[in-house]
Chain A
Amino acid sequence: MTSNLINLFFVAIGVLAIFVYLLAVRSSNQHYKKWPSYRSLYWVMGVFSAEAALVGPIATQAHHNFAVHMVGHLLLGMLAPLLLVLSAPVTLILRSLSISKGRRLSKMLKSRFVKFVGDPFVASVLNIGGLWLLYTTELYSAMHHHVFLHLLIHFHVFLAGYLFTASMIYIDPISHRRSYLYRGIVLVIALSGHGILSKYIYGTPPVGVPSIQAEQGGMLMYYGGDAIDLVLIFIYWLQWYKGNRPRESQDLRESI
């Protein structure tokens, strides 16, 4: 019974998220240049990706099978955040809010708290550190016995994934920009932490996980994580490449 209620709750959030986004697109299109449809597509795909991890066959089987759990983790904590960040939700919301509300929101985004959790290093600790905590302690097995803990952990995985992605590539306006070098160093550390954890899981299964599942899950985490991170890395460098374009009036070799 509770699981049905939770499923309903997740589906409702997903439907609401798509509905509100499309509503905001309509409102934005009335006042500004047409909102790119690929951004809307990213949003819808991102919501579906998160939903696929939360309800349906993957979510059901994830309770018993660690490898399936890892597929869900990749969808909820990595792919969904990436797609949602690429859909530029903050830009869209700022466009469709009234001026006073928009100011309030942008003031909030400039707050010390957002600056703190939005720092690449803090976001990485929340994201990767959280995973270490989940898979190397008894938290993972406890998660399957307590509904509330289960919800909380999934919420954290998703939110931390979003924060992490948004702190590495700048799609939405951001007031606390960090240098490419700093972001790059933190990104390497975070990717290493993810890769090391997947090999650690491969060799040391979490409590209650059979070793064959841990091996499958570890390899999925390793290679699946790589595939999604590669997109993140590509966008990171593309932004550097565009931002360092020599100005046309200048010597091409100027302004390095």
Chain B
Amino acid sequence: MRTTKAPQEIDKQLNSRAILSGILFGVGLVTFIDEMVFHQLLHWHHFYDKSTTSLGLISDGFFHGLSWLTTVGGLFLVADLRRRNAWNWKRWLGSVLLGAGVFQFYDGTIQHKLMMLHQIRYNVVILPYDLIWNLTAIGMVVIGYYLVRKSKNSYKQMNLTGSNS
């Protein structure tokens, strides 16, 4: 199955692999932080909140199942890009923020609010928490998108000068 491909095609594929790697790792990272910081360290979130709808339980379970596969997979893709000399920090970091931001926004709006999955914190006025949560998410998406856009040129340049043997 190993056919010779045109260089542009390989570049395109590696580009999307870099973005995929970042997004996968970003989604995994944000669920990991959620689990570590908010569930385990701060005990703000509840393991299971009786008001959770079954759809919320399924959605939460699905993303939890996905998160380990994507965290580990995202990092193996990084290793793969590095061994192919196709590594680009800016593009990767941008994609990490994109993945993390989109997922955190989904978590903060649909999962917490619509599906009534556990709230960010209990026995407090929840609005500021929700606002900070979701604004951080939007901020990550914006910065991530900007970084990915900006990384395009430097990526092409790198390929021209840093040709591999």
Contacts and interface: CB of A to CB of B under 8 A. Distances in A.
Contacts of A246: 83-84
Contacts of A193: 61, 65
B66 interface: yes
A253 B65 contact: no
A196 B64 CA distance: 9
B13 interface: yes
B61 A199 contact: yes
Contacts of A194: 65
A89 interface: no
Given A192-B61, A252-B84, A187 B69 contact: yes
Interface stretch (A114-122, A131-139, A169-177, A226-234): A226-234
A87 B27 CA distance: 33
B135 interface: no
A190 B69 CA distance: 12
A244 B17 CA distance: 13
B47 interface: yes
Given A192-B62, A253-B14, A234 B69 contact: no
A99 B47 CA distance: 55
B86 A253 contact: yes
A200 interface: yes
B126 to A, nearest CB: 22
Interface stretch (A61-69, A141-149, A156-164, A235-243): A235-243
B157 interface: no
A184 interface: yes
B110 interface: no
B78 to A, nearest CB: 10
A184 B5 contact: no
A194 B64 CA distance: 10
A219 interface: yes
A102 interface: no
A195 B83 contact: no
A241 B11 CA distance: 19
Interface size class of B (residues with CB under 8 A): 20 to 34
Contact of B76 (A188, A199, A218, A237): A237
| Majority DSSP secondary structure for residues of A touching B | helix
A188 B14 CA distance: 25
B69 A233 contact: yes
Contact of A199 (B13, B48, B68, B85): B48
Nearest to B2: A255
Contact of B48 (A188, A189, A202, A254): A202
A190 B85 CA distance: 35
A253 B81 CA distance: 8
A188 B69 CA distance: 7
A219 B47 contact: yes
Given A192-B61, A196-B61, A241-B80, A254 B2 contact: yes
Given A189-B65, A196-B61, A237 B73 contact: yes
Among B2, B62, B64, B80: residue with most chain A CB under 10 A:
B64
Contact of B164 (A237, A251, A255): A251
Contacts of A251: 10, 164-165
A246 B64 CA distance: 32
A253 B61 contact: no
Interface of B: 2, 4-5, 10-11, 13-14, 17, 47-48, 50, 57-58, 60-62, 64-66, 68-69, 72-73, 76, 79-80, 83-86, 164-165
Sorted nearest first, the 8 A-B pairs with minimum C-beta distance are A191-B65, A192-B65, A196-B61, A237-B76, A195-B61, A192-B61, A192-B62, A253-B84
Given A191-B68, A237-B76, 13 more contacts: A187-B69, A192-B62, A199-B57, A202-B47, A237-B72, A238-B76, A241-B80, A245-B83, A246-B84, A252-B85, A252-B164, A253-B10, A254-B5
